[in-house]
Amino acid sequence: MKNLFVILLISLLSFSAFAQNQSVFDKFEDYDDVTTVVVTKKAFQMLTKITSESEEAQEFKELVSGLENLKVFTTSKPSIAAEMQTTFDKYLKSSKLSELMRVKDQDANVKIYVREGRDEDHVSEFLMLVNEMDVKIERDGEDASPEVVIISFTGDIDLNNISKITSGMDIPGGEHIEKAHKK
């Protein structure tokens, strides 16, 4: 009986750890009209082992050393964009995230939320929704529909460096973090 209890406890702990790596946004990975980027803790660990002596490489290694997950979901299909917005809103209601900032300009509405971290400069979760304005946008010489982008970081994240991380990794929607950082 004691062994059964120990096995059950270990199983529950394993499931709990697995569930923490899952995200309510992961369902969008399977959608054909969603572009997805997922970078895992293992990949960030590998990035920190890159042997380069340049100051830029050293700085980038320090930036990503505390990251556990990065997930980016992008779509320009209106029905999926609406579902992404709804999922984002539901997640906010059920999570303990607090609003960091909102930026609305002629290009996009940007909402950024965070979960507190070890101190006031660090967060354990960074969540951003970029909802481009409903206007025709020109990309690569062609008209394109507005995009919705969800960016999620988890780990030990230094808020002072978040725009450097997104620009260094060329993350879709990352330019909005830079704009928000400047405002």
How confident is the model over 96-123, as pLDDT tens digits? 899 988 888 887 888 989 998 888 888 8
Please give the pLDDT value at position 12.
37
Span 78-107, average pLDDT: 90
Domain extent, residue 161, equals: 26-182
- pLDDT above 70: residue 175: no
CA distance 175 to 183: 13
- pLDDT above 80: residue 75: yes
Residue 176's SS3 state is helix
Q: Which of 21-30, 80-89, 142-151 has the lowest mean pLDDT?
A: 142-151
Does any domain span residue 127? yes
Does any domain span residue 18? no
Does any domain span residue 13? no
Does any domain span residue 14? no
Count Cα neighbours of 26 within 13 Å in the Cβ-side half-sphere: 9
- The pTM assigned to this predicted structure is 0.72
Judge contact between 151 and 127, C-beta under 8 A.
yes
Does any domain span residue 10? no
Does any domain span residue 11? no
According to DSSP, residue 89 is labeled: H
Does any domain span residue 6? no
Neighbours of 5 (CB within 10 A): 9
Does any domain span residue 121? yes
CA distance 181 to 183: 6
Domain count, the chain: 1
Higher pLDDT, 100 or 178: 100
CA distance 91 to 75: 19
Residue 103's SS3 state is strand
